[in-house]
Structure 1
């Protein structure tokens, strides 16, 4: 492959990319994120990751009140050079932008969920939670796998420090009353 055959986005501009660029770069691979102005390409996911996304998406969809919606793998604009793609989001229905929407705004979100994957472990555990908290997303879940079992670490935003505080870890079953009543049986993953 010659340089003229390479996609233009492979070489970033000197100032890096901006959130709106993701909608205009031709032939960008699916699930490309923008973190600190740099493109982050997604790797193939392990079965645990895919099954957990399905389980959480369906469980949250059953639980959300009428004024909220759930989306899977939809990007969120956190700032001019930040457009990550949380694994699952819960957002206000008033923010619906129609079938051609490619992203939601941080202020639309109630919850962002990341399922830790080996290739994105550092971003999922450290960088993304920091970005979500700075953007004011009130709730964050970090889902970890230990020997094929899920642990959902539940965080709430501390408005004073603009950082997340661990409010608990759920294993086997997610039972919460905030941000709304939630009851998800994590052991269902064994039947999927």
Structure 2
């Protein structure tokens, strides 16, 4: 996933794998599997990055965290103002799928796009890339 995002990164941004994200509105810190943040917004201390600076959060479910990723993190990221949340969910009841939640407003995502593994899913601005999900199988 990290490599797939590299060609589409805005010039001043980086992909992070262990960066804490502070969601001030709910007083919580989450650590997405991957997130994209402008380098200038990454604290030089151990403080978390502010959710409002995160352009994309990515979670890859596992059997032990599936409900947390599907519900709690989606809710938290929307409340934090993260514009896009990509959920890679091999345990989806309807079949392994990738879901992109976007158009964040008022603490929820108003748009969801779900694609089965093997199909392509398009990330919105500033990435403007279609991800090939074949590699997720």
Do the two structures share a fold, i.e. TM-score over 0.5?
A: yes
Residues 118 and 135 in structure 2, CA contact (< 8 A), matched pair in contact too: no
**Equivalent residue runs for 1:83-122 within 5 Å:** 83-98=29-44, 101=46, 103-122=48-67
Of residues 74, 99, 104 in structure 2, which corresponds to 1:153? 99
Q: Which runs of 5+ in 1 are unaligned?
A: 1-55
8 Å CA contact 1:68–1:92 kept in 2: the answer is yes
**What is the distance in 2 between the residues matched to 1:106 and 1:177?**
18
Please identify which structure carries the higher helix content.
1
**Counterparts in 2 of 1:81 and 1:177: CA distance versus 1, 3 Å:** closer
Contact 1:86 1:114 (C-alpha < 8 Å) held by counterparts: yes
Native 8 Å contact 1:110 1:138 kept in 2: yes
Q: Is the 8 A contact 1:111 1:137 kept in 2?
A: yes
The normalised TM-score by structure 1 is 0.60
TM-score (normalised: structure 2): 0.80
Please state which structure has a larger fraction of its residues in strand: 2
The structure with the larger Rg is 1
Alpha-carbon shift at residue 116 of structure 1 (Å):
1.4
- The two structures, once aligned, show a CA RMSD in angstroms of 2.4
Is residue 2:73 matched to residue 1:128?
yes
Q: 1:78 aligns with which of 8, 18, 23?
A: 23
2:9 to 64, 70, 77: 64
CA contact (8 A) 1:176 1:182 kept: yes
Deviation at 1:131, TM superposition (A): 0.9
- Structure 2 CA distance for aligned equivalents of residues 176 and 64 of structure 1: 14
Aligned length: 132
Q: Distance in 2 between matches of 1:145 and 1:185?
A: 15
SS of the equivalent of 1:119 reads: coil
- Which of 83, 86, 95 does residue 138 from structure 1 map onto? 83
Structure 1 segments (4+ residues) deviating >4 Å: none
